[in-house]
Amino acid sequence: MKPMLLTNATEIPLGKNWLYETKYDGFRCLLEWKNEPILKSRNGKILNQMFPEIINFCYEIQERISPYLPLTLDGELVYLTNNFQSEFSKVQQRGRMRNNEVIEANAKEFPCHYIVFDLLEFKGESQTNRYLTSRKQQLSHLFQSIEIPSSVNYEDANRIQAIDVYENSELLWKKILVHNGEGLIAKKSTSKWSSDKRTVNWLKVKNWRYVTVILFKYDKENGYFHGGVYDEEKLVEVVTFKHGLKEDEMKTLTAFFQTKGNKLSANIWELEPSICVNIACIDFDGKKLREPRFHAFNFEFQAQNCDWKHMQRQLLPIPQTIKITHPDKPVWPASGIQKDDYLFYLQNISSYILPFLSGRLLTVIRYPHGAPGESFYQKNSPNTIPDFVTTKLVDDIRYILCNDVETLLWLGNQLALEFHIPFQTVKTKKPTEIVFDLDPPSVNEFTLAVEAAVRMKAIFDQFELKSFVKTSGGKGIQLYIPLPMDSFSYKETGIFTKFVCDFLVEQEPQWFTTERLKKNRDNKLYLDYVQHKEGKTIIAPYSPRGNDLGLIATPLNWDEVSTSLKPDMFSIPAVLERINKYANPFHDFRQDLDAKSFAVVLSQLKELTK
């Protein structure tokens, strides 16, 4: 079988007989499972070798799923960046890999999901002649039976998940726009499944982004026009296109190039940068706009303003629900970062920071005139807030819960520059992680924080405890040990944190101290374990700081914690570049948590303190 194909549409069809799903950008493929699971691409290519995390997950659930085999599922192989958006380039790169070691390393750093939206074969019986609603119900029952998620969650380690189905297209479309997803798929509830057939019963509506480029070249041989943007005063090509032009527009542009342009060869003319056009596309792959189409001339836009930064903002527009004020306001003047740059950072980092902000009583530090400068802590929610903002009343304080990207951007527009969070969510009174704060006397002694972090890691490894590390965004380092939900009290974790810090001080009293008063620390690194209590807060991973450079509290890989590490390496531009190149070191923070190791350590420490 080959997957049934979708038909492009410009408008979302409405009516009770339509169902709606998110359109993800990945590899369409079937999962055929008789004796062994086989991932088969649209062209019949076997993808098992390239996506071992999916196949390994299949074997993990084999015992649960075996009563329902043979089974065939229809879905999309994706790398999720949030619940409504996936990154095609990560899947594309994986599909080109052949070396097993490289593939395994990539699968660990950038694990993909298989998002299932149809059930074609169940217990060896074909389901293709049944209505879509019937197939969906059967799929839902199957996933509930074998305990596989029936909803998409980019943080979930379950590599196979069922797609979310909406009856309200407006609700789904809004979520897609807010999360910058590729588009929406509308399916008739009575549609049947036909192999390798393009059908009008399945329609795809794309979320087009509109990018302004400068026309500078025309190739008569293939009829393509070339467009670019300025990158540090150099014109860089980002698109070649001819689709979307009406016949008269094509003739006008061709004539203009041939009469006003500089003829470079028999078929190629070049123009001085002057004419700007808007191009509709679905994304940018790092070199070219994807699926480009001519949209309109933009005679009002000045060519010199058509630059890389402007293109990036057009590719990632601010959601219409957020009203931005003074986007050109300087926020970190020393770094040349304006408010729009800051909001752009928050959009890009949202899927990294929100897992730590969501469901926690938030304290922010606002800098109304930019940083550094006048600032104030804010715990209490303003009286007037947008409908999408969630709050919770605790001890006469109405806290904001930053549960989504809209709330994050709303706070960013108010110049909330620092996001501080407690060590537990609102669902529990117990800590969900242990955090050690390694605070050197100044940035000049940052190597002391590195030394302490490495020594603590050795202790954690000895106790078989999973640990993570990040810069504080200031002069120090912070270490994390994630805990299973509702497992240990603050009193119990306090026994452990005190032991570790006291042990380090005993080992190296000339370097480390647990003395709370700065005047008594003698220029030593302060090991702060007292701060780890209910009601206390810590700077969230990926939060900026209100210092001159706007440094970021940046998660690190443990092999980066060395004498070459410097806190000023992690500015907003540097972290944006970093997340585009490397995996998030905290991506598996909540995965595979087991209370057993920490319980054993705690039991031993309690015996020692008797």
Q: For residue range 227-279, list pLDDT tens digits in order.
A: 999 998 899 999 999 999 999 999 999 999 999 999 999 999 999 999 999 99
CATH 3.30.70.3300 domain residues, the chain: 433-605
Beta pairing, strands 209-219 & 276-281: antiparallel
Q: Which regions of the chain carry the CATH code 2.40.50.140?
A: 209-315
Chain segment 293-352, per-residue pLDDT in tens: 999 999 999 999 999 999 999 999 999 999 999 999 999 999 999 999 999 999 999 999
Report the distance separating Cα 86 and Cα 402, nearest Å: 22
Spatial contact of 424 and 432, defined as CB atoms under 8 Å apart: yes
pLDDT-derived band at 431 (thresholds 50, 70, 90) equals very high
Residue-wise pLDDT tens digits, 384-416 = 999 999 999 999 999 999 999 999 999 999 999
Confidence (pLDDT) at 592 = 87
The string of pLDDT tens digits covering residues 540-561 is 999 999 999 999 999 999 999 9
- Encoded tokens for 583: 């995996």
Please name the amino acid found at residue 162. Answer: A
Residue 80 has pLDDT above 80, yes or no: yes
Distance CA 351, CA 83 (A): 9
| pLDDT attached to residue 132 | 98
Architecture of domain 209-315: Beta Barrel (2.40)
What tokens does 337 get? 């970062």
pLDDT at site 606: 83
Rounded to whole angstroms, how far apart are CA atoms 150 and 162? Answer: 5
Please tell me the predicted confidence (pLDDT) of residue 594: 87
Tokens of 299: 């005679």
Predicted local confidence at residue 203, as pLDDT: 98
d(CA 525, CA 513): 6
Q: How confident is the model at residue 182 (pLDDT cuts 50, 70, 90)?
A: very high
User: Which pLDDT score, from 0 to 100, does residue 610 have?
Assistant: 66
pLDDT at 1 over 90: no
**Among 341, 323, 324, which residue's Cα sits nearest to residue 332?**
341
Residue 99's pLDDT is what? 95
pLDDT at 608 over 90: no
Residue 530, pLDDT score: 87
Active-site positions?
23
CATH 3.30.470.30 domain span(s) along the chain: 5-206
433-605: CATH class:
alpha beta
Q: Would you say 55 and 145 are in contact if contact means Cβ atoms under 8 Å apart?
A: no
- Alpha-carbon span 19 to 201, nearest angstrom: 10
Average pLDDT of every residue of the chain:
96
Question: Which two structure tokens, joined as six digits, stand for 480?
Answer: 């994390």
Give the tokens for residue 521: 């620390």
Residue 140 pLDDT greater than 80, yes or no: yes
Question: E-strand spans in 34-190?
Answer: 37-41, 71-78, 80-82, 85-86, 113-122, 125-126, 160-162, 183-188
Q: Give the tokens for residue 472.
A: 């504080």
Work out the burial of residue 48: count CB atoms within 10 Å of its CB; fewer than 13 is exposed, 13-18 middle, 19 or more buried. middle
d(CA 205, CA 104): 35
| Per-residue pLDDT band at 531 (split at 50, 70, 90) | confident
pLDDT tens column, 478-491: 999 999 999 999 99
Query: pLDDT tens digits, residue range 102-128?
Result: 999 999 999 999 999 999 999 999 999
Is the distance from CB of 186 to CB of 13 less than 8 angstroms? yes
Instruction: Name which of 56-65, 130-139, 157-166, 598-607 the model is least confident about.
Output: 598-607
- The H-or-E segment that residue 430 falls in is none
CATH architecture of 5-206: 2-Layer Sandwich (3.30)
